[in-house]
């Protein structure tokens, strides 16, 4: 194979053969294709795209670069969820134990936050003692004992994706929908789950800012899943405003526990229940039929909370221990009275990052107690001088920049200016 010919083919709008894709992924993984050559190919893919067979084969080649987990011997069906990321998106925390409480097994490989979006592992690591890194044997034990596990992906899963992801990040090719889809799906297929539900977010705080792009990404990933024999559906969900009322690691854990205790913000509850029902159905379990508990019931009767505590303890955490609290707090008040008609998720996420809740580079540490609390959500009334946000940080010098980010994050007007957006925009299967 000639890597230059492969680059030229895609540069000129041609279609790569399965053999070319297999070879270039394997050669790049083993250092036989140079970084600058793969950079050129990634840019050609960004500019000229890939068709369905190409994306499927690219995913398969990355999947074949490492190990693939197998949980087919469990006594319950497996199902998983992947979110494309957003602000205040703590859904994995209440979702995994809820689905486990209803009878399915959830092998959830999660990541860390980068930039304005939070990472599930960072949130969970705010719980004293909780461990993200598990061996395959430990993962299997936790999954068998509790029905759910949330942990970091091991180095043996899709190593080609790990190299390519880092390269895309520094070459301006992150936005390629075929490469995004193949990256996500190679890792998810490596988990060995029977079914997969995708939460593809669209809006200010999401990676996909507009609905057509989000829809294209969802369709591409659903097709990849189906082509690989995994039952896959996607929900398009709104990320114009943050999810829930807390943005930040320990703050979001506390809010997730509220949901698991039968309370919590309505939008977090709605999305948790909707995704849980989709996951159970995809796993072949019908909520409310043949003894399968409905997720809403699991949240109300305490079984989801009990499942959460089991899951946390199984990974070394203490679910009853106090969560970290930031050393400093500042309240931002409303400059006028009226209805909050707009709340920009991206700017809220950026403010939380400024306060220390996120990281700029993968090696950065996060402040578990840092973040932003929302006193008012879109559609709610607020009076002049009343609290809009509470800022939390361990370093008070961070407050001013965070406040600057929030200055353009909201609009207060009359009730008629607010138009309610559906949380769940569409379902794609």
Task: Write down the catalytic residue from 57, 81, 168, 201.
Answer: 168
At CA 74, angle to CA 307 and CA 85, rounded to 5? 55
Cβ atoms < 10 Å from Cβ of 84: 23
Task: Write down the catalytic residue from 10, 57, 81, 82.
Answer: 82
pLDDT for position 111: 84
**Which whole-number Å values give the CA distances from 407 to 245, 300, 335, 337, 401, in the listed order?**
18, 38, 10, 16, 10
**Count of alpha carbons within 13 Å of 125, Cβ hemisphere only?**
19
- Active site (annotated) includes residue 161: yes
Task: Write down the catalytic residue from 183, 204, 307, 367.
Answer: 183
pLDDT for position 174: 85
Task: Write down the catalytic residue from 161, 194, 199, 405.
Answer: 161
Residues of the chain with pLDDT under 70: 114-115, 362
How far is it, in rounded angstroms, from Cα 274 to Cα 413?
Answer: 31
Task: Write down the catalytic residue from 10, 90, 162, 187.
Answer: 187
How far is it, in rounded angstroms, from Cα 350 to Cα 368?
Answer: 16
pLDDT for position 115: 67
Q: Please report the domains of the chain, with CATH numbers, ordered by start residue.
A: 3-49 (1.20.970.10), 79-153+190-314 (3.40.1030.10), 328-417 (3.90.1170.30)
- Active site (annotated) includes residue 183: yes
Six-digit token string for 269: 């509850």
State pLDDT tens for residues 205-251: 998 999 999 999 999 999 999 999 999 999 999 999 999 999 999 99
How far is it, in rounded angstroms, from Cα 39 to Cα 429?
Answer: 33
- Active site (annotated) includes residue 293: no
Contact call for residues 354 and 405 (beta carbons, < 8 A):
yes
- Active site (annotated) includes residue 199: no
Q: Which of 327, 358, 306, 350 is nearest to 123 (CA)?
A: 358
**Which whole-number Å values give the CA distances from 300 to 115, 261, 275, in the listed order?**
35, 7, 17
State pLDDT tens for residues 393-421: 999 999 999 999 999 899 999 988 888 99
pLDDT for position 155: 82
- The partner residues of 428 in beta bridges, in order of sequence, read 234
- Active site (annotated) includes residue 392: no
State pLDDT tens for residues 79-129: 999 999 899 999 999 999 999 999 999 999 888 876 677 789 999 999 999
pLDDT for position 114: 65
């Amino acid at each position: 194979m000639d890597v230059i010919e492969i680059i030229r083919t895609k540069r000129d709008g041609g279609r790569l053969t399965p053999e070319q894709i297999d070879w270039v992924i394997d050669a790049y993984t083993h250092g036989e294709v140079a970084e600058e050559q793969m950079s050129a190919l990634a840019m050609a893919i960004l500019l000229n795209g890939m068709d369905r067979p190409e994306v499927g084969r690219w995913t398969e080649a990355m999947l074949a670069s490492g190990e693939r987990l197998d949980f087919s011997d469990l006594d319950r069906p497996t199902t998983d969820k992947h979110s494309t990321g957003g602000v205040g998106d703590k859904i994995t925390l209440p979702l995994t134990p809820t689905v486990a409480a209803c009878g399915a097994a959830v092998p959830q490989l999660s990541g860390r936050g980068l930039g304005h979006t939070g990472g599930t592992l960072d949130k969970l690591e705010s719980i004293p003692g909780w461990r993200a890194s598990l061996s395959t044997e430990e993962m299997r034990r936790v999954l068998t004992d509790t029905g759910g596990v949330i942990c970091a992906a091991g180095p043996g899963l899709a190593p080609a994706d790990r190299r390519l992801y880092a390269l895309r990040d520094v070459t301006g090719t992150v936005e390629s929908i075929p490469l995004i889809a193949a990256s996500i799906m190679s890792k998810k297929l490596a988990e060995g789950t029977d079914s997969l539900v995708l939460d593809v977010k669209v809006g200010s705080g999401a990676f996909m800012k507009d609905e057509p792009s989000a829809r294209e990404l969802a369709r591409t990933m659903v097709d990849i899943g189906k082509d690989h024999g995994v039952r896959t559906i996607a929900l398009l969900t709104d990320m114009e405003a943050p999810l829930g009322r807390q943005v930040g690691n320990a703050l979001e854990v506390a809010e997730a526990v509220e949901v698991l205790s039968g309370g919590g913000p309505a939008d977090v509850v709605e999305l948790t229940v909707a995704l849980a029902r989709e996951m159970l159905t995809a796993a072949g379990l019908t909520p409310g039929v043949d003894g399968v508990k409905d997720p809403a019931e699991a949240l109300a009767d305490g079984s989801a909370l009990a499942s959460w505590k089991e899951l946390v303890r199984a990974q070394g955490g203490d679910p009853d221990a106090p969560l970290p609290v930031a050393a400093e707090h500042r309240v931002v008040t409303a400059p006028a009275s009226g209805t909050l008609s707009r709340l920009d998720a991206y700017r809220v996420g950026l403010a939380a990052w400024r306060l220390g809740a996120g990281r700029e580079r993968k090696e950065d540490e996060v402040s578990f107690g840092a973040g932003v609390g929302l006193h008012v959500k879109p559609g709610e009334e607020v009076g002049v001088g009343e609290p809009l946000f509470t800022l939390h940080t361990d370093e008070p010098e961070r407050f001013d920049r965070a406040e600057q980010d929030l200055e353009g994050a909201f609009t207060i007007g009359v009730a008629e200016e607010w138009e309610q957006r559906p949380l769940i925009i569409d379902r794609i299967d």
